[in-house]
Structures are given as C-alpha cells and as structure tokens.
Chain A
Amino acid sequence: MRTNTALRNLDMPMAGYDKPESRAACKISATNLNFYYGSFQALHGISIDVYANRVTAFIGPSGCGKSTFLRTLNRMNETVRSSRLEGKVRLDGEDIHELEVSEVRRRVGMVFQKSNPFPKSIFENVAYGPRVNGYESKSALRDTVEQSLRRAALWEEVKGKLHDSAYSLSGGQQQRLCIARALAVDPEVLLLDEPCSALDPIATAKIEDLIFRLKDSCTIVIVTHNMQQAARVADYTGFFLLGRLIEFDSTTSIFKAPARKETEDYVTGRFG
C-alpha cells in the first residue's frame, strides 16, 4: 500500500501542491446555511463546496459549530428538538431536504467520536445496514461484510472471530468496525466527527492511513480538534469560529500562510 501511495505521489503537481484544484468536482455544497438550537444561532451563513474524493477537515475551538455543520450534511441535526435550518445543502446538485432522509443517510455515512458498535457480533454490526436496506442475499451479505472490513483495514484482525461480540474489540478496532459498518452500505460521503479523539497514537495512525486510502472511493469530511491530524490527512481545511466559516483553503495554505488573522492566531496557539 505504501509503495502504491509513493508511486501515486510522483504524479502530483508538486509546485502547485498548496493551490486549490480547479478540476476537482463538487460533491456537497452548502449555501447560506444558518442553524439554530431554539433561539441560539449556531451557524451563520455557511457557504462551502466540498470536493469529491478529497479529505476536507474542519477545525476550530470547542463550540465553534464545526460538528453542528457536519451534522447538517446528512440531516442528523433534524434529530435535535427545536432546531431549525435555513439555507441549502446539495448532494451532487440535489437538495438533500427533498430526498428521503434514509437515502441521505445511506449516501452520506457518519462515524462518531465515541465508537458505538451495536451489542451484536462483529459480523452482525457490519451486516446491519445492508440487511436493513434489504437487497443482499446471504452470500452477497458475507461478501459485503468481508469487503467492508477489508476497506476499514480490520479484516485481518477479525476474520477468525467474526461471531465474537463487537465489545471484545479494542477501542481502535471498535472505531474501525464503526467505519466498516458505515462503508457496508457503500456511502458516497463519509462524515467523521472526532474519530480519533479517544484513540492512542497507533490506533490513530491506522485510522488516518485508512482515511487516506478511502478517499479513492469516498468523499471524506472530518471534524477534528487535533490540528496536526488535519494537517496530516486533509487536502482542504476550513476554520470555524463562533459559528462562522472564517477561512477555507488547501490544507497547506491554511497551515503555512493563512489569509485571516483569526486562523493564524488559532493555528499558532495564540487564540484568545
């Protein structure tokens, strides 16, 4: 895998490495997004294009709205009572509020900060989504589970104990199981909300490596408190502050020479 990555990197246009690409297609776009928890406005006029088959990271201090924004991308925020959304989110140009919510959640998967496997076997955790969608034969289901576990870089560690409880896995393995579960319905976009914050450096490195490989088949959006993680995994980075998207640019630009003083103060630790 490392060799393939190295070979692929040879073709990268090094001189323009930190310049936004004009060729990348837009997968999800948000336009003038405002979001309210009751009377509290958590997001102010967010407009952004998330590029297909790229990793986009959102950083910012606690309470800045980055997780709230992430949840608007698959309508997860609708589960919060008395919340209200203004503006548009489009997936491949289609307004996600005009699609069935189940279709949105299938196409835009999500993995949370704390791994949350179901109290079932490893196999059943991954098989759950395809089974609910009801389009898998038994043998196809087995194939899907294996493929999903392979894509989540977990297959080799669990192939001999697929029917053990998911709770028997380590924290890092449980998080990769949740990623495998999300991948099992073949999402086009994967939203990751602080996926490594409870993991040790080795488990974190595995998830980051996985993110890098998944972007061939998926568009990935990650919210992280860890700036170094954003710098390592993301092609594009957005900085949120007080519910506003202050700056969005290539990751190298954000961490080398951000345009906005607020971003500069945050990434250099001089914030506040």
Chain B
Amino acid sequence: MRHFVEELEQLKAKLLQMSSLVEAAIQRSISAAVQKDRSAAEEVFRNEARINQIEIEIDEFAISLLVRQQPMAADLRLIVAALKINTDLERMGDLSVNIAERAMSLIEEPIIKPMIDIPHIAGLVQSMVRKSLDAFVTRDAELARSVLASDDAVDSLRTACYHELVSFMEKDPQNIKPALDLLAVIRNLERLADHSTNIAEDALFLVKGIDVRHHAEARK
C-alpha cells in the first residue's frame, strides 16, 4: 500500500476515534437528561477536552496531507470532507455539554411531564448521527440521503414539543424553569440533527463529488 493511502487510512481512523467519543458524549448527555443521571453528565464534561484536542490533531494532520501530497479527486474529497466533519463533530461535542448542563439543572427540579417526546427525538437524532457517520465510512450515498430526509421529522417533533411546553408554562409559573430546560435540551438535540445532515452532505460530496447544500432537489 502506498504511504499516502496509509496516511488517508490514519486520517479516517482518527476521525472515527473522534466520532466514537462524540457519539458517547451524546448518549451520556441524553441519559443524564432522561434518566436524571448525574454521573453521565459529569462524564460528558470530563471528555470535552479530549474531543477538542482530537479536533486540533485531525485539522493539523489533514492540512499536512494537503500540503505534502497535493491530493486529487477522491483523495482530495476525503480530506476536505474530513476537515468539515471534524468541525461538525467538535460542535456536536459542545452541544452534548449543553444538554448535560441542562440535565444537571433538571435533576434538581420536579418532573412536569413524563419523558416521552425527548427520548423519541433523541432516538431519531442518535440514529441520524450513526447513519451519517456510517455513510461517510462506507461511502454510502443512499444512506446519506436518508439522513437528509430524517431532518424534517426532527424539526416537526421539536415544534410539537415547543407548543406543549409553552402550554405547561402558561398553566403554572412553577413549570417555567423546568420547561425552559427541556426546551433547551430539545433545541440542542435539533442542532445535533442539523450537524448530522452536514455530515451526510459531506459524505455525499465524498462519494459523488456533488454539493447538495441548500439545494432541495439535489438532496433527493
């Protein structure tokens, strides 16, 4: 195997290491919010620095490959996609921290409604994250397109939850703080879904060399 091909494999391996840390952070932040698991939230806070560190390592490695190898075609697309996915993953780590912070607040508050919608949205979001990363790793354009389609479902669930939580707040001012925390959790989950769609778009760029951002027709 050529040395450059080995280096591209290393870049992918590093990105996978990053994505497994971020997926774990998302899982723990959701557990913290849904199951009121304080230790899971604390684990998210502890791992953030590691995610940030790997982000820098991936950027430096990818830039050194661009400089030294002057890659073309699929190699170029892999490195460009890796750089963009790296930025998305780091941001997803930050969003997990946001969710974990809201979870710490929710742990101290009374339960205002059964946790049904948030686990539902969280399940959808985690599936999108998994699929978008799988699409990148296995170069599966169809899987990437399926992620783009899921984003609408998350958006409509978020809107439904928003209306429900507003009505809770209107009924009793005691509900305002926990409802705001729940709204923040939902907003962060929705942003995680948005970053998954970015990763799916990058996977499509990698496989097909096309840019589907902001083009509704091309996404189908």
A residues contacting B by CB (< 8 A) are 227-228, 231, 255-258, 263-264, 267-270
Contacts and interface: CB of A to CB of B under 8 A. Distances in A.
Q: Which 10 A-B pairs have the closest CB atoms?
A: A257-B209, A267-B72, A255-B72, A267-B73, A264-B73, A268-B75, A268-B73, A228-B70, A258-B73, A268-B72
B214 to A, nearest CB: 11
B70 to A, nearest CB: 5
Interface in B70-123: 70-77
B77 A256 contact: yes
B106 to A, nearest CB: 45
B208 interface: yes
Q: Of B73, B74, B76, B208, which is in contact with the most chain A CB atoms at under 10 Å from its CB? A: B73
Given A255-B73, A256-B76, A257-B208, 11 more contacts: A227-B72, A228-B70, A256-B209, A257-B74, A257-B209, A258-B73, A264-B74, A268-B72, A268-B73, A269-B2, A269-B4
Interface residues of B, number: 13
B40 to A, nearest CB: 42
Instruction: Determine chain A's interface SS by DSSP, over half rule.
Output: helix
A68 B2 CA distance: 31
Nearest to A231: B72
A257 B76 CA distance: 9
Nearest to B5: A270
A93 B154 CA distance: 59
A166 B71 CA distance: 39
Contacts of B210: 257
Given A256-B209, A257-B209, A268 B71 contact: yes
A175 to B, nearest CB: 23
Contacts of A270: 2
Interface string B22-61: 0000000000000000000000000000000000000000
B180 to A, nearest CB: 41
29 contacts: A227-B72, A228-B70, A231-B72, A255-B72, A255-B73, A255-B76, A256-B73, A256-B76, A256-B77, A256-B209, A257-B73, A257-B74, A257-B77, A257-B208, A257-B209, A257-B210, A258-B73, A263-B73, A264-B73, A267-B72, A267-B73, A268-B71, A268-B72, A268-B73, A268-B74, A268-B75, A269-B2, A269-B4, A270-B2
A87 B209 CA distance: 35
Nearest to B4: A269
